[in-house]
Amino acid sequence: MGELQDLFDQLLEQEISYAHLLARLVAEKIAKTGITLTESEIEKLAGQISKSIRQTQLRLDIYTWNMSENRSFNIALSSDDVDGVRERIEETLDKLPELAAELTEKSAMSIASRVEASAERLGRRRARDRNKYERHITDLWAKPLDLFGSEVEIADELGREVHTKLEELGTLHSSRQSNVLLRLAARGCQVSREIETLLLHGFADGAIARWRTLHEITVTGMLIAGGDEVLAERYLAHHAIESFKGARQYVEIHSSSGAAPIPPEDWARLRSAYDEAVAKYGAAFKSDHGWACDVCRNEKPTFADLEKCAGLVLARPHYKLASHNVHASPSGVFFKLGLIDDEAMLTAGSPLGLDEPLVLAAHSLCILSSQLCRLYQDLDVLVGARTTQLLSMRVQEECERLNVQVDRADGYSESTADGN
């Protein structure tokens, strides 16, 4: 991209340089004698003018240049000519933002057009490079990644098994607690697969950011599983609080953003559901985690309060670390799991740092899946839950083994700022 700036600088120099403008003025005067100078001759002329300007400070009225061995021209430049050049420079400077914007737009459209025309070819090249790089990651982390992938499959099967059993018993749709917990378990499997995908591509920081979500699902699942139908009902009812808050934010910005307003009947429905929920559960229900205020014994519980009630406070430091990769905090900018040098800047995947999100995700998924045993128990369900636990332990063991075998200083990170 640097070539574009160089080109713009060259064009700008020609537009506002006294030497270039005077050279073109001289060329116009020469043309009146029936002789047309070439562009290279004009450039040579500009160079001679520039040299004369430095020597005479523009105090000469007549300039003489030898353009070739057999011809020379004596050109008179009046004060009006010089004033005209100055006026042109001033006009160009006034139009500079417009010229820059025009060049930017034209150049961007040209580049975008060329990229689009070759997008398929570039895509195939990226895929080849990506596959080669991902093979390196999977070769290095094959064992723990395979174990985690298997744990996700078992957790998925476990959720399906419990769902089927409860449906056969006819209690699936009558129990809010079962409904909520099964949905949380399903989402936990989906997020775990997202984590697995990120890890396979070497995105440790993205994976731990997604683990943050898995951890929140696990904490919520533990509270729901350890509660009763009333708590599950409060959780479901809190959807009305979240929906109305979102609608209210939309109303505040829709007019300035040009978005369509919320239809009056929809707004009335959202407002009514919100008012009914607050009337039923109290003013504390309006807080972000108001559904859990009773179980946490706090009118405005934070997520840290939910962690404490669920018995997962030991995950708080990891949750804080993961939050850096969700928000634009300085720690998230400078600290990366995929780097060993904080001075480098990571723009792609890295084979480093996959162990922490792997172990955390395996542990959280194991805890979440085991909560399904509170809904239904038979040998299949108990064995499935125990299997996820064993696989989680094996993921941790393999990650610890790799950390001993692989010297992190010998690793590498792709596409860093220094090109290494």
For the stretch 187-197, pLDDT in tens is 999 999 999 99
Q: Give CA–CA dist 21/85, Å, rounded.
A: 6
pLDDT band at 258 (very low <50, low <70, confident <90, very high): confident
Residue 103 contacts residue 316 (beta carbons within 8 Å): no
pLDDT > 70? residue 62: no
Nearest to 25 by CA among 70, 73, 96, 71: 73
Tell me the average pLDDT across 80-109.
73
Whole-prediction pTM: 0.73
Q: Give CA–CA dist 254/212, Å, rounded.
A: 31
Q: Mention every residue, 6+ apart, whose C-beta is less than 8 A from residue 383.
A: none
Encode pLDDT of 285-325 as tens digits: 999 999 999 999 999 999 999 999 999 999 999 999 888 88
pLDDT band at 6 (very low <50, low <70, confident <90, very high): low
Residue 387 contacts residue 394 (beta carbons within 8 Å): no
Helix axes 176-200 and 119-169, enclosed angle (nearest 10):
150
For residue 377, give both structure tokens.
């128990």
Say what the pLDDT of residue 20 is: 73
Higher pLDDT, 300 or 133: 300
Say what the pLDDT of residue 16 is: 56
Higher pLDDT, 318 or 120: 318
pLDDT band at 74 (very low <50, low <70, confident <90, very high): low
Question: What value does the mean pLDDT of the chain take?
Answer: 82
In the chain, the percentage of residues whose pLDDT exceeds 70 is 81
- Cβ atoms within 10 A of the Cβ of 366, count? 23
